[in-house]
Amino acid sequence: MNKYELAVVVSAKVEEEERNATVEKCKSYVERYGGVISDVEDGGKKKLAYEIQDMSEAYYYFIHFEADSTAPAEIENKVRLREDVLRYLCVRQDEA
């Protein structure tokens, strides 16, 4: 099993309850594909480097998990379909 980090940028236009539901849904995707979540970090509201869908700010969340090498592609395919997720990225963490 490899260690991964899923970064999710959620629209600032949605309410807190809906943002939390989005993060929970992303966590469920990780668990559905055999991932074991170790930690979820709330990065808070930050200014974007460039506007996305007429927004200059968004909320950042980082989900750390362990999974097989096939899981990140499957997770990204599901996260891609979420309308309130502006950007996402799943990267493998180095063993340091």
Query: pLDDT tens digits for 66-92?
Result: 999 999 999 999 999 999 999 999 999
- Which pLDDT belongs to residue 45? 94
pLDDT, mean of residues 40-57: 93
Per-domain residue ranges of the chain: 2-58+67-86
pTM: 0.90
Mean pLDDT of the chain: 93
Kindly tell me if the per-residue pLDDT of 96 is higher than 70: no
Instruction: Classify 23 as helix, strand or coil.
Output: helix
Distance (Å, whole) CA 79 – CA 83: 9
Q: Answer whether 52's CB lies under 8 Å from 87's CB.
A: yes
Q: Confidence class of residue 94 from pLDDT cuts 50, 70 and 90?
A: confident
- State the fold for domain 2-58+67-86: Alpha-Beta Plaits (3.30.70)
Selection from 9, 10, 7, 63 nearest residue 40 by Cα: 63
Distance (Å, whole) CA 34 – CA 28: 10
Record the tokens describing residue 32, joined without a space: 């559905």
φ and ψ at 70, to 5 degrees?
A: -85, -20
